[in-house]
Amino acid sequence: MLAVKPDLAWNMLYLQVEIICFQRKITIILRKVETVRERTEEEQLLDQQLEENLSRIKDTIVIISGKGGVGKSTVSTNLAVALARDSEHQVGLLDADIDGPNIPKMLGAEDARVTGSDNRLAPVKIKPNLGIISMAFFLPDKDSPVIWRGPLKSGAIKQFMGQATWGELDYLVIDLPPGTGDAPLSVAQFIKDVSGAIVVTTPQDVALLDSRKAVNFARKLNVPVMGILENMSGFVCPHCGKEVNLFKMGGGEKAAEEMGVPFLGRIPMDPRIVESGDSGTPFVESFPDSPATESFLKIVGECKGYLEHKRR
């Protein structure tokens, strides 16, 4: 048997180690390629589902605001419920506020859970013709925070829109988080033809400043602005009947005039609106004869008129 020189033995051993390392690197690369391929296939499927869903929705309405605390989710909830009062209309409500998903509580459905299979999500039914999807349905409990960066939030919104089995809808109302960040931008990119945006504000100058930004945000993304809605506009004392302008009045109308967009109307303050939201009973149904409900239904009529005119 021939003796192998020490240097040659070490070189052969080194070569074997290099070959093993190379094989492992190739295996890792192949796994990564397969993972990318799987993700691409999933993304393609989601894109197809999103396109199919959007093709079955007549009108998509986004509710936006430049800042928080103006009652945007309350408006979204009661708008969807008001639209669903016509039993012939199928309505969907998407709670796109991933960080603060409050819609289920306002509709008395915070303990509900979404069901589904095969990359599909079944909206929670509030009425036979009103279904909702919200991040709240996926959290372990009501106190669990969502600590996600923008891309994850955008991905979740896309899944809600694409994987939900909305069916044929006359209206899809989307409650967006306040501001002009990732979520509103994502929705505008996912939906190429948004029917219109409602900008919710309150009468004080700080809110109006941000509402103007929201209008310009919609315009830059080619989203039609249905109009500005002034919430918390005036308070009628239940004891003496005197009206008090806690946050001033008329700022929303003035902003609409200056921005060249329609003014949809004012919703006066009413303590029962807060009580209704906390108890999970929509205000427009709990207090149908109140001044706030009367104002709100007029605004709903304005929105319907806008959409009907747009379809012609």
The pLDDT, as a whole number, for residue 150 is 83
The pLDDT, as a whole number, for residue 147 is 87
Does residue 308 have a pLDDT over 50?
yes
CA 63 to CA 96: how far, in whole Å?
A: 10
Does residue 1 have a pLDDT over 50?
no
pTM: 0.84
Higher pLDDT, 107 or 35: 107
Does residue 278 have a pLDDT over 80?
yes
Higher pLDDT, 235 or 291: 291
Domain boundaries, the chain: 8-55, 58-311
The pLDDT, as a whole number, for residue 35 is 59
Q: What is the mean pLDDT of residues 68-83?
A: 92
Cα Rg of the chain, angstroms: 26
The pLDDT, as a whole number, for residue 92 is 97
Q: How confident is the model at residue 37 (pLDDT cuts 50, 70, 90)?
A: low
Distance of CA 118 to the CA centre of its chain: 23
SS3 content of the chain, % helix, strand, coil (to 5): 50, 20, 30
Q: How confident is the model at residue 189 (pLDDT cuts 50, 70, 90)?
A: confident
Per-residue model confidence as pLDDT tens digits over 261-276: 999 999 988 888 888 8
The pLDDT, as a whole number, for residue 117 is 76
CA 278 to CA 225: how far, in whole Å?
A: 30
Does residue 221 have a pLDDT over 80?
yes
The pLDDT, as a whole number, for residue 29 is 63
Does residue 2 have a pLDDT over 50?
no
Nearest alpha carbon to residue 104 among 82, 125, 76, 134: 134
Question: Which element (helix H / strand E) includes 169?
Answer: strand 169-175
Alpha-carbon separation of residue 164 from 22, 49, 101, 123, 282 (angstroms): 45, 9, 17, 6, 23
Q: How confident is the model at residue 186 (pLDDT cuts 50, 70, 90)?
A: confident
Per-residue model confidence as pLDDT tens digits over 4-20: 455 666 666 666 767 77
Q: For 58-311, give the CATH class.
A: alpha beta
The length of the chain, given as a count of residues = 312
CA 246 to CA 259: how far, in whole Å?
A: 24
The pLDDT, as a whole number, for residue 131 is 96
CA angle 276, 101, 187 (to 5 degrees): 120
In sequence order, which residues have a C-beta less than 8 Å from that of residue 68 and are 6 or more positions away?
Answer: 177, 178, 179
N-to-C CA span, the chain: 95
The pLDDT, as a whole number, for residue 30 is 59
